[in-house]
Amino acid sequence: MKEKSISLKAIGLEALLRRLPENHPRYADIENELRKTRAGENGERILANVFQQYEFPFKHYIFHDLNLQSTGKFQIDTLFLFQQGAVIFEMKNIAGKISFPETQNQLTRTLENGQVDAFECPSVQLERNKMLLDDWFHAHHMPIPIYQAAVFPRPHQQFENLRKDLTLVFPLEIPIFLRRMSSFPPMIEVPQLTDIANKLTNAHREYDPFPLTATYGIHPSELSTGVRCNQCGRFGMQSIYNGWGCPQCGNVEAKAHIQTVLDYFMLIGKRISNKECRQFLRLECRQKVKRILMQLGVPSEGENKGRFYVADLKLIRKLHELTRSKVTK
């Protein structure tokens, strides 16, 4: 019902690191946040692949990256819905030796170099999501059994002091886990199951992490401006007759400005004036900026000097796809 999508947050964090000076006090924090985000995304991709590779011989619906709101906002890595109820799967892509302290709602991991780090115990997140999902079902007059499991991607991983209240599975165990559960008495009729799946799909709201400068307490003036050269990495490509030219290495790109406009929407804000765009692109021509924004399909609001161009997540995804497929001349 809902597939795994690319992580806009990771794309935005990569852009933030490109435009943030390496000596900035938040640089190391952003690097660490990007590492955690990528690890989480890689783990969720492993989880999604399990369901792509296995066919279940009973009626079911699968949701990846499901964002809902009941008595609070919550995100579920994967929700599996079948006649026996709903199963929440949360992926924990944490390397190292894992231990669960008895007196704390934490897990600790020990790396080979002896470094020890602490994380929230998956049982806490699972219980929180179960409670919020239960609230959502009751608000829609659908009391449904809810089960949950934490997924760790490495079958060879070592664990100590496993919690009794935590169901832990590895990716290849998931089909067996669900097949066993399918032998439970059905609690939902098939027509109702389909109705629930449709309601969940309609209730999903895509997670919006932008603008990242506000999230991480960074002032937009601290970012590097200008069009970035993909060949040498320098900012300040100049507008030329056939696109953009790099004064440092001589590289020419026809559509280098797309990434810069995308960076602004992800990092600074989803509303931009012609003047703000000129400043960020380091471009003086008002008409060229207007043409760029119109060609990219950015909708506008207002007239003349009061005109703003406004992006949403759909447009941000579109611009990201354009940066991946752009032609370099």
Residues 116, 108 contacting (CB under 8 angstroms): yes
Confidence of residue 325 (pLDDT cuts 50, 70, 90): confident
Q: Which amino acid is at 81?
A: L
| The two structure tokens encoding residue 10 | 């990771």
Rg, the chain, Cα only? 24
pLDDT tens digit sequence for 114-128: 888 888 889 999 999
Query: What is the percent of the chain where pLDDT is above 70?
Result: 98
**For 28-42, 109-123, 213-227, 233-247, which range has the lowest pLDDT when averaged over its residues?**
109-123
pLDDT, average across residues 277-285: 96
pLDDT tens digit sequence for 234-272: 999 999 988 999 999 999 999 999 999 999 999 999 999
Phi-psi label, residue 106: left if phi above 0, alpha if psi -120 to 50, beta otherwise? beta
State how far the Cα of 137 lies from the Cα of 68, in Å rounded to an integer: 11
Q: Is the torsion defined by CA of 186, 199, 72, 81 positive or negative?
A: positive
What's the predicted TM-score (pTM) here? 0.87
Q: What is the DSSP string of 26-70?
A: THHHHHHHHHHHHHHHHHHHHHHHHHHH---SS-EEEEEEEEEES
Q: Of 120, 146, 124, 128, whose CA–CA distance to 71 is shortest?
A: 128
pLDDT, average across residues 129-144: 95
Residues 286, 232 contacting (CB under 8 angstroms): no
Look at residue 328 in the predicted model and tell me its pLDDT. Answer: 37
Residues 116, 130 contacting (CB under 8 angstroms): no
Look at residue 150 in the predicted model and tell me its pLDDT. Answer: 95
Whether the predicted pLDDT of 329 surpasses 60 = no
Look at residue 154 in the predicted model and tell me its pLDDT. Answer: 87
